[in-house]
Amino acid sequence: MRRLNGAVAIAMLWGLWATSAIYAPSAQAIDPIELEDPALQQRYRDLSHELRCMQCQNQSIADSPVGLAGDLRREVRELLLRGLTDDQVRDHLRARYGDFILFRPDFNARTAWLWLAPVALLLLGLGVAWRVLRRRGALVSEDDSPIEEPRR
């Protein structure tokens, strides 16, 4: 029985690994074009993973097979080959498509809530958790003392 459980667990793990390997986002799977300079290629890959495919919206242009994503990848390659820095490439595309094209938008007045909301919510959650735990702790110690006393 125990051995069977182990086999099932191994099979399930393998299944998980296989599906994730098949569906794992990979720039090369969709985009076979490689730049000659390995450093430039790395920057191109990193950039294309942080630019949103505007048609599908929850995929980066590196992961999306649609035509526009291909056009935007070509644009990024050409800008990099022209010698633009990563920030200049981001600014170039943001000037045309807006903040929305960046998966990690800059921190400014318009995007402040986007960046700060998770931190605020986390602090709130920690505060609530702390209060609840403190109250429970108080209850436990009160309950414990009368039971332990007679044993001594």
Partner 1 sequence: MNRFLLPAGLFGLLVALLFVGIQRSPQKGVIPSALLGKPAPVFRLPSLDGSADFDSASMRGRWHLLNVWGTWCPECRVEHEMLLEIARSDDIVIIGLNWKDEDLLAQRWLAELGDPYDAVPVDRDGQVAIEWGVYGAPETFLIDDQGIVRHRHVGAMTAEVWAREFLSRMPPRQTVPDGPVMVPAPGAPGAPVEG
The footprint of partner 1 (CB under 8 A) covers: 54-55, 57, 67-68, 71-72, 75, 94-98, 100, 124
Closest contact distance (angstroms) between CB of 146 and partner 1 is 26
- Bridge partner residues of 51 (DSSP): 102
Closer CB to partner 1, 104 or 152, in the complex: 104
Q: What distance lies between CA 56 and its chain's CA centroid?
A: 17
Closest contact distance (angstroms) between CB of 80 and partner 1 is 15
Amino acid at 72: L
Phi, psi of 102 (to 5 degrees): -90, 125
Closest contact distance (angstroms) between CB of 37 and partner 1 is 23
Counting every residue written for the chain, the total comes to 152
Closer CB to partner 1, 37 or 99, in the complex: 99
Closest contact distance (angstroms) between CB of 127 and partner 1 is 10
Distances (CA, A) of 103 to 10, 73, 90: 36, 15, 11
Closer CB to partner 1, 95 or 140, in the complex: 95
Closer CB to partner 1, 96 or 136, in the complex: 96
Between CA 124 and CA 81 the distance in angstroms is 47
Q: What would the two tokens of residue 51 be?
A: 């630019």
How does DSSP classify residue 32?
A: -
